[in-house]
Structure 1
Amino acid sequence: MAINRTTLQQILDTVQELHNLEQIVTREAVREATGLALTTVDDRLAVLVDRGDILRVERGVFVPAVRHPPARAISKTQMPDGTVKLEIGDLVLELTPREDRMLAKLQAGVAVELAAIETGKEVSVLMASMRSRVAKLEARLSAKETDSRQRDLL
């Protein structure tokens, strides 16, 4: 049984890591990342889905199940003296102006990363749409060229 737990944990870790890297998690991607046999990967993925550790978002695509506690209310208040009160649930932090700027710098990196990820996703969707439209146009053009050749032969 220890081997099952080890491969199960290995596959769960791989699903989480691929997902964190914004990769699409498929059985093939997990197999490639772990080096395990595809039958083993399929079996363990099914167990992880049954246990609720991962979710099947569509056929052959998986994401880790989110297990965060419920989000708490967050507020930020700028005080007249330049300090900032940051409230997260029942926790209240009083930040100096310098601490507030340092925190903003840390959060800016996360915001830029999120913007880049969203931009990449939008570009991918747009490219897929454009490829589809070009393929349809090429097919229509090819059909018209074929019709024109047939008319020329007659």
Structure 2
Amino acid sequence: MSNKSNADLILEAIKDLHNQEQIVTRETLSQLTNLKLSIIDDRLSYLVDSGYIVRVQRGVFVPAPKHRPARLMSKTLLPDGTVKIDIGDDQILTLTPREARTLGNLMVAEAMQYANIEMGHHMAILQSEVSGQVRKLKRQVEGLVGKGTQGELLYEHD
């Protein structure tokens, strides 16, 4: 008898089926693991929520891609234009100026993706700040209107 939890059993079955290029469905998992569909459904929800698997379309699942942790990286530009790239504890590349430009050209898509992600993060922060300021102004306006001030609020109409 196995000491594996139902979630571990299902995750292992998903990985095995995926590695065999088989479509992973709840019915396939039920047949393979001999677990009831209600248990399969519950554990699939848990595995999706936990980030272990991805629902690629309704009822079809694949293992979530896992990458090793990112290592520290550095680039050193030498006076003669040579570029040294270090990743982790290893010196990986020593590039001539032309090779460095070519590598940069090859990596431009990743650089643009990085820039877009960073811009999205900054826009989310700005949007949050603006929303907070709008809420504060709304409360102030409601407070003025609620006090029944003697002055009138003027609105411009275009």
Q: Please report the TM-score for the alignment, with normalisation by the length of structure 1.
A: 0.49
Between Structure 1 and Structure 2, which shows a larger proportion of helix residues?
1
Q: Of the two, which has the highest radius of gyration?
A: 2
